[in-house]
Amino acid sequence: MTKPPLTLYLAAPRGFCAGVDRAVKIVEMALLKWGAPVYVRHEIVHNRFVVEGLRAKGAVFVEELDECPDDRPVIFSAHGVPKSVPAAAAARGMVFVDATCPLVSKVHAEAARHHEEGLQMVMIGHAGHPEVLGTMGQLPPGEVLLVETVEDVAKLAPRDPAQLAYITQTTLSVDDTAAVIAALQSRFPTIVGPAKEDICYATTNRQAAVREIAPKIEALLVIGAPNSSNSRRLVEVGRAAGCGYAQLVQSASDIDWRALGAPTAVGVTAGASAPEVLVDQVINAFRDRFSVKLELVETAREDVEFKVPRVLRS
């Protein structure tokens, strides 16, 4: 039986970013250096496939430091942790490795610098997200005010409206963040912003690629985890760019073929925590049902690489 024709537009860049690649390497190198088990506080990155792969090699994932024994290494996730966590690990004499993405660490440094200058921080981000908890935990309680929406800006009650600075979660939608920043600047004209936007290059590049393919496709599949902020934002960006059907899938087995219908053009991308093997599985699933023509849509080239901590290189 002849398969119906389908063009798959493959977004580039997609998938692993430099921060995720570094974090996964840190766990793998720690296992090689110290042997199993190595403990990891929180999921190293937000992807079940990656986490399960590392668990099979001997990584033990926990939510809190008190679940870790004193005599085994512990790794802090790529999303970053409050200052109290490494302090507690040091007090217990634990060996610990910080896998916080360097771009998240840059935001931490910005917050600390503004705090030293007497400014109260406003953080644009999603309540409860590990990166937000880690960043807010860099400063004393009450020194970081969280906003998610333009409406939240109107309710802000800062200590001194003339002494404010803002930072953002690195995995947000560029467009949504721009609206919140504009609202902050309108209400607080003297608010200080970062010299360079906090949203990371990988988030920006992946969103730009989705905008590029959106006019060409009838449906968009974003490969990523439900708790991955940057993956969920890719779905939102696709819809905002005019893609009527956009679905987040963790793997090929999650594709809702009935809802997808009989398209002739589909876009595929992957969040920054999703490995390329999951993209290959999705492509093969389409090849089982369609006569697939692959089209690569590349909007940027990425050559960023972050070094792993010195303790793992020695």
Question: pLDDT at position 173, please?
Answer: 82
Structure tokens at 113: 């610098």
**Verdict on whether the full-model pTM lies above 0.85:** yes
Spatial distance between the Cα atoms of 85 and 151, rounded to a whole number of angstroms: 32
Per-residue pLDDT tens for 162-210? 999 999 999 888 887 999 999 999 999 999 998 777 889 999 999 999 9
Q: Where do the H-state alpha helices sit in the chain? A: 18-34, 48-57, 84-91, 102-116, 130-136, 150-155, 174-187, 201-213, 229-240, 257-260, 276-289, 310-313
Task: Name the residues annotated as catalytic.
Answer: 131
Q: How far apart are CA 246 and CA 217, in angstroms?
A: 10
- Return the ∠ at Cα 60 (arms to 90 and 231), rounded to 5°: 100
- From the list 197, 274, 275, 208, the residue with the least C-alpha distance to 240 is 208
Q: Are 167 and 131 in contact (CB under 8 A)?
A: no
pLDDT in tens, the chain (314 residues): 799 999 999 999 999 999 999 999 999 999 999 999 999 999 999 999 999 999 999 999 999 999 999 999 999 999 999 999 999 999 999 999 999 999 999 999 999 999 999 999 999 999 999 999 999 999 999 999 999 999 999 999 999 999 999 999 998 888 879 999 999 999 999 999 987 778 899 999 999 999 999 999 999 999 999 999 999 999 999 999 999 899 999 999 999 999 999 999 999 999 999 999 999 999 999 999 999 999 999 999 999 999 999 999 87
pLDDT for residue 234: 96
